[in-house]
């Protein structure tokens, strides 16, 4: 996606919303039905792009629901289109503010002298740690390399550049390092109805190790990643969440391919820090109901 290439700090979910706003603004049509069709075609295209689509899927679903209310309040298509664009920009503004809100929620849980384990690269976790450094807190972070794309290396460089005492570790060293840390702080690509999370492969293993050694697991995530799915195990995750589009189109045996994400059940999560507040996993379903009302 062009937005993701040009704006490194933008997540896939936010890029998807910006794309839908561009469709409303630039693709001129004359009926609500045509506009709906264009938006749905754009959503389908993004779900088949070569990017992880968990956040794209949930973000687009919430966006479509949020702007659709405009159709109930207007008589002319021009007025409807204008209101949909206004509501869409309000939705985008809320998304752009969400990361900062989440980071502030988590700030008091990053204590002086604490040791934190994080996994892969999370923009919201990065921002929370940068906010902690600005607040003159001193702490140490261990970051997994996070195969297969080694995204932890990018996170490590960004933390070091921000002045954080950060150490890159092998994915297989999670159990070894876990006994040294005070908390686990991770992001999420998606949050399920049960309060579990869908995140970079290896998150589930990290959660198991944390529970065994009684370390709290804090998930930092924006509410647009809340999704109306209820997986019971790894096999329940949609294939389009687990594999890139080119892998699905290749016709290869998926049982021989490495999944990009896994599912961590709510029993492994202590708290979720969101722009809606600090939630227990069991509170997520109530917040989802409010989001979709």
| CATH number where 215 lies | 3.40.50.10470
More confident residue, 104 or 288: 104
- Asked if residue 179 and residue 77 are part of one domain, the reply reads no
- Asked if residue 92 and residue 113 are part of one domain, the reply reads no
pLDDT tens profile 102-161:
999 999 999 999 999 999 999 999 999 999 999 999 999 999 999 999 999 999 999 999
pLDDT tens profile 159-212:
999 999 999 999 999 999 999 999 999 999 999 999 999 999 999 999 999 999
Whether residue 19 contacts residue 59, with contact meaning beta carbons closer than 8 Å, is answered with no
Give the count of domains, the chain: 2
- Asked if residue 80 and residue 214 are part of one domain, the reply reads no
Which of 143, 142, 162, 161 lies closest to 153 in space, CA to CA?
143
- Asked if residue 24 and residue 39 are part of one domain, the reply reads yes
Mean pLDDT, residues 61-77 taken together = 72
- Dist CA 96 CA 202 (whole Å): 28
- Asked if residue 112 and residue 52 are part of one domain, the reply reads no
All residues at 6 or more sequence positions from 214 whose CB lies less than 8 Å from its CB, including other chains: none
- Asked if residue 185 and residue 119 are part of one domain, the reply reads yes
Among 53, 77, 101, the domain-final residue is 101
Q: What are phi and psi of 264, to 5 degrees?
A: -110, 115
- Asked if residue 260 and residue 155 are part of one domain, the reply reads yes
The pLDDT-based confidence of 250 (bands split at 50, 70, 90) is confident
List the beta bridge partners of residue 278: 273
- Asked if residue 156 and residue 125 are part of one domain, the reply reads yes
Instruction: Return the pLDDT at 245.
Output: 85
Q: Which residue has the tokens 């096999």?
A: 235
Mean pLDDT, the chain, whole residue set: 90
Domain residues for the domain of 83 are 2-101
Among 52, 75, 101, the domain-final residue is 101
Lowest average pLDDT, out of 5-9, 64-68, 116-120, 134-138, goes to 5-9
- Asked if residue 21 and residue 118 are part of one domain, the reply reads no
Alpha-carbon torsion (28, 32, 37, 39), positive or negative: positive
- Asked if residue 118 and residue 24 are part of one domain, the reply reads no
- Dist CA 213 CA 205 (whole Å): 13
Mean pLDDT, residues 77-105 taken together = 88
DSSP line for 233-274: SGGGS-HHHHS-HHHHHTT--GGGSPPSEEEE-GGG--EEEE
- Asked if residue 273 and residue 257 are part of one domain, the reply reads yes
- Dist CA 265 CA 17 (whole Å): 28
Among 35, 66, 101, the domain-final residue is 101
- Asked if residue 124 and residue 95 are part of one domain, the reply reads no
CATH number of residue 62's parent domain: 1.20.120.420
Instruction: Return the pLDDT at 70.
Output: 53
- Dist CA 85 CA 141 (whole Å): 42
The three-point CA angle 93-199-173 to 5° equals 130
């Amino acid at each position: 996606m062009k937005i993701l290439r040009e704006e490194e700090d933008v997540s896939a979910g936010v890029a998807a919303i910006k794309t839908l706003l561009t469709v409303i603004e630039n693709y001129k049509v004359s009926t609500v039905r045509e506009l709906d069709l264009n938006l749905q075609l754009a959503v389908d295209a993004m779900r088949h792009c070569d990017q992880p689509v968990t956040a794209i899927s949930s973000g687009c679903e919430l966006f479509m629901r949020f702007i659709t209310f405009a159709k109930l309040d207007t008589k002319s298509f021009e007025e409807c289109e204008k209101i949909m664009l206004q509501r869409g920009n309000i939705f985008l503004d809320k998304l752009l503010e969400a990361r900062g809100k989440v980071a502030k929620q988590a700030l008091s849980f990053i204590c002086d002298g604490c040791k934190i384990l994080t996994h892969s690269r999370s923009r919201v976790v990065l921002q929370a740690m940068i906010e902690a450094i600005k607040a003159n807190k001193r702490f140490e972070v261990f970051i997994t390399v996070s195969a297969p794309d080694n995204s932890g290396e990018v996170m490590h460089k960004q933390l070091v550049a921000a002045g954080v005492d950060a150490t890159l570790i092998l994915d297989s060293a999670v159990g070894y390092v876990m006994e040294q840390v005070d908390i686990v702080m991770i992001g999420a690509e998606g949050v399920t109805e049960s309060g579990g999370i869908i995140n970079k492969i290896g998150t589930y293993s990290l959660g198991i190790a944390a529970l065994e050694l009684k370390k709290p697991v804090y998930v930092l995530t924006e509410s647009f990643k809340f999704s109306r799915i209820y997986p019971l195990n790894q096999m329940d995750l949609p294939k389009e969440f687990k594999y890139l589009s080119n892998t699905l189109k290749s016709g290869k045996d998926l049982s021989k391919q490495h999944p990009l994400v896994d599912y961590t059940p709510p029993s492994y999560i202590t708290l979720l820090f969101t722009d809606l507040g600090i939630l227990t996993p069991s509170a997520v379903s109530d917040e989802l109901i409010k989001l979709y009302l």
